[in-house]
């Protein structure tokens, strides 16, 4: 069950990033311009998230994820920035590491912690 929650959080973050780009709404953590990835011919010109899925998230769920990411900034101000770079701007672990000033392995750990945080928050909010 924990793996399932983590997968939901991982997919939720990817969908949140696509939602933020598609709405062209900067979240509280993404005041900089968005990187717009090229359109994929396999999806009939539709934009896809970081895992290649088309937008399926509702506005309400995306806003819940956005709020959870905001709460995360209280504990570690770097995490919302990393989430924005990875899921909204499609940045690689190496690029994120360079911008944040750490190693790409540490960024991998941070992304895992962000996914875990989100899965816990969504479970708590659902109860």
pLDDT tens-digit map of 78-95: 999 999 999 988 899 999
Q: How confident is the model at residue 70 (pLDDT cuts 50, 70, 90)?
A: confident
The pLDDT tens digits for 6-24 are 888 888 999 998 888 877 6
Q: Map out the domains of the chain as residue ranges.
A: 2-126
Q: Distance between CA atoms of 69 and 64, rounded to whole angstroms? A: 9
Nearest Cα neighbor of 114 from 77, 79, 90, 87 is 79
- pLDDT for res 94: 95
Query: Does the predicted TM-score (pTM) go above 0.85?
Result: no
- Provide the token pair at 88: 């909204």
48 phi/psi in degrees, rounded to 5? -125, 160
């Amino acid at each position: 069950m924990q793996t399932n929650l983590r997968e939901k959080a991982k997919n939720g973050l990817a969908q949140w990033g696509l939602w933020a780009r598609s709405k062209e709404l900067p979240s509280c953590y993404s005041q900089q311009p968005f990187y717009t990835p090229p359109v994929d011919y396999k999806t009939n010109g539709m934009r896809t998230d970081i895992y290649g899925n088309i937008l399926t998230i509702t506005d309400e769920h995306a806003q819940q994820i956005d709020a959870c990411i905001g709460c995360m900034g209280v504990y570690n101000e770097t995490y919302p920035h990393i989430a924005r770079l990875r899921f909204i701007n499609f940045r690689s672990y190496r690029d994120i590491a360079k911008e944040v000033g750490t190693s790409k392995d540490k960024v991998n750990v941070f992304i895992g912690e962000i996914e875990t945080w989100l899965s816990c928050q969504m479970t708590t909010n659902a109860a």
